[in-house]
Amino acid sequence: MPSTDTKTIASLLGGDPKEQEEAIRLIDQQLRTVVVAKLRRTAPGLSPEEIMETFQDTLVAVWQMARSRCFDARKPLLPLLLTIAQRRAIDALRKREVNRVSYDEMFDAVDERLSGSRVGEAWRAVAANEDGRRIMMMIRDTVARLPKRQHLVASAVVGFFPRVPSYEAIRDFIKQRNGVALTTTAVKRAWQEARKKIREVLVREGYFKV
């Protein structure tokens, strides 16, 4: 398949929603190698999975610019892509450093009463213990079924694992990744509600007693 020049892709980004989706597909198909190379140079400490996640974040950022009509199709596309990718890579590195904590402190993010229960031991061995992996699976399944706002907040918390983010960090993460603006108070309330539902699942499965 012949490649599409970046001017044409930029023009598509300035078009209607279908053209914008086609532009993102073309960027993914034809410019991924260049952008990923930039990400690796900017943040060599990121894992391959983190690099690809950051590349996807870059695509989302470009798509959001196009949808909000903030994209200027007259300007060169590739320098813009590389600039966004560099910023996202730096953000990914910063995310790694946010509030590094022990597994015991992560229990508090799910519920302050979990650390003295079966889930405490399981969570400490979550990477190697079958019981721990089962808990994480239950938490992720529960998060997937939450109402939208609770889902956004709980997904952010799980995404920071094993670090415990502040409410402000969660707010900023959701704004950047999902384009949804929430107040710190709204984040706190949504997490309290989500945490209650996660706790109910763990109680039902016998991982701790009320």
First CA to last CA distance, the chain: 61
Sorting pLDDT into bands at 50, 70 and 90, what band is 210? low
Whether residue 81 contacts residue 31, with contact meaning beta carbons closer than 8 Å, is answered with: yes
Looking at 14-129, list the stretches that DSSP marks H as alpha helix, in order from N- to C-terminal side.
17-30, 32-42, 48-67, 77-97, 103-110, 118-124
**What is the model's pLDDT at position 99?**
37
Q: Which of 27-41, 92-106, 140-154 has the highest mean pLDDT?
A: 27-41
Least confident of 64-73, 90-99, 104-113, 181-190: 104-113
* CA separation for the pair 132, 86 (Å, rounded): 35
CA atoms within 13 A on the CB side of 78: 13
* CA separation for the pair 133, 125 (Å, rounded): 8
pLDDT digits (tens, 9 = 90+) for 68-79: 888 888 889 999
Residue 31 scores a pLDDT above 90:
yes
pTM: 0.48
Least confident of 2-11, 115-124, 128-137: 115-124
Residue 116 scores a pLDDT above 70:
no
Q: Which residues contact 150 (CB under 8 A, 6 or more apart)?
A: 190, 191, 193, 194, 197
CA 155-159-164 angle, 5° bins? 100
SS3 3: coil
* CA separation for the pair 168, 159 (Å, rounded): 15
Q: Which of 15-24, 131-140, 155-164 has the highest mean pLDDT?
A: 15-24
Residue 110 scores a pLDDT above 80:
no
* CA separation for the pair 90, 39 (Å, rounded): 9
Whether residue 183 contacts residue 190, with contact meaning beta carbons closer than 8 Å, is answered with: no
**What is the model's pLDDT at position 209?**
55
Could you give all domains of the chain from N- to C-terminal order, each with its CATH number? 6-97 (1.10.1740), 103-204 (no CATH)
* CA separation for the pair 25, 17 (Å, rounded): 12
What integer is the mean pLDDT of 186-209? 83
If one compares 40 and 126, the residue with the highest pLDDT of the two is 40
What integer is the mean pLDDT of 108-130? 47
The dihedral sign for the CA sequence 197, 202, 203, 209: negative
Cα–Cα distances in angstroms (integers) from residue 49 to residues 54, 56, 157, in the given order: 9, 11, 18
Average pLDDT taken over every residue of the chain: 78
Residue 18 scores a pLDDT above 80:
yes
Single-letter amino acid code for the residue at 116: G
* CA separation for the pair 14, 32 (Å, rounded): 20
